[in-house]
Amino acid sequence: MAIISLNATKSSSTGDNIPSYVSSDDATSCYIVILRSANRCCIGHLDTAMRVKSFFKNTEQFFFSNDNVTTAKVHIIGGFPDPQNLYRSILHEILLSLVCNDRTYELGVCCIAENNIKTATQNTYPAIMGVLYDIIPDRLNPACIGWKARGPVPALRLSRLYSPYSGEITNVFDPENCILFVNPFAYVRPSSVSLNMSTEQMRARSTTPDQEPPTFFEGQAAINRLMFFCHNSLTWFKNGPLKFQCTADSSKPWVPLDEASAVASRDSLTNISI
């Protein structure tokens, strides 16, 4: 998840570093949820009930810390029906989080479950799997997000999902200093891992393998490669969190703020190049 504060202006020291857009992709049975108030924005990719709870716990503290702010708009996309009905339990937790408090949420775009299905090549797929959200005008557009547009060290950030303590959602953006950060996380290498992961092994990691886009399998292959070569620890974190700052340069939108972050961003194991 990422929390963005719009309080900084373009004339302030951090204003030029405020992202103009947030995005997420590869939503099948999971959900992309975007919250927007007058001066704050948050996006989360929610794939378990526990992550839904931690998402709303973190965002409500940030959104409604000012007593004058009681309303936020919410956009919800995703929830393709899966055989185990996980999409229902996740949606149930999202709706509970929206109604079981004293906050007011205004529903914006809602494209979910059976209302987000298309048919192609004799199979059904999510009609919208990824979005690009233009923060200032509050405009949401369907999108396919390439790896270069998904931020720095994508393979390393994806690997967090397989950490023993990855149950809760993790914020990756410091809204006060406008810094994207990657905190260290517990790493346990599987007892048996081979360099080449089979398609069936990748499919087993999905609740809806027939609907997954190519980027899902590319990401799984990258995680497996990282784990194959990293035997005992993730050395990129030896000096603490990795830190990056947003820039207006579209060819290099995230600039590392220290040497450790620069080294990590150049490492082929942390990146996904297709």
- CA 13 to chain CA centroid, Å, is 27
Q: Which two tokens stand for residue 242?
A: 């990795």
pTM of the model: 0.93
Residues ≥6 apart with Cβ < 8 Å to 267: 153, 236
pLDDT confidence of residue 271: 96
DSSP states along 83-120:
TT-HHHHHHHHHHHHHHSSS-EEEEEEEEEGGGSEEEE
What's the confidence (pLDDT) of residue 94?
A: 97
Terminal-to-terminal C-alpha distance of the chain: 24
Strand partners of residue 104:
71
Residue 218: which of 231, 142, 226, 247 has the closest Cα?
226
Distance (Å, whole) CA 221 – CA 212 = 14
CB crowding 182-205: b at 16 or more within 10 Å, else e: bebbebebeeeeeeebeeeebeeb
Q: So what's the pLDDT on residue 8?
A: 55
Mean pLDDT, each 10-residue run in order, the chain (274 residues):
76 63 96 93 96 93 75 95 96 94 89 94 93 95 94 96 88 92 92 90 96 96 95 92 88 91 97 86
pLDDT of residue 101: 74
What pLDDT does 67 receive?
Answer: 61
Structure token pair of residue 271: 């990146």
Q: What is the pLDDT of residue 11?
A: 40
pLDDT of residue 12: 46
Using only C-alpha atoms, the chain has a radius of gyration, in whole angstroms, of 19
Q: Who contacts 27 (Cβ-Cβ below 8 Å, separation ≥6)?
A: 45, 77, 78, 80, 126, 128, 129, 130
Q: So what's the pLDDT on residue 9?
A: 44
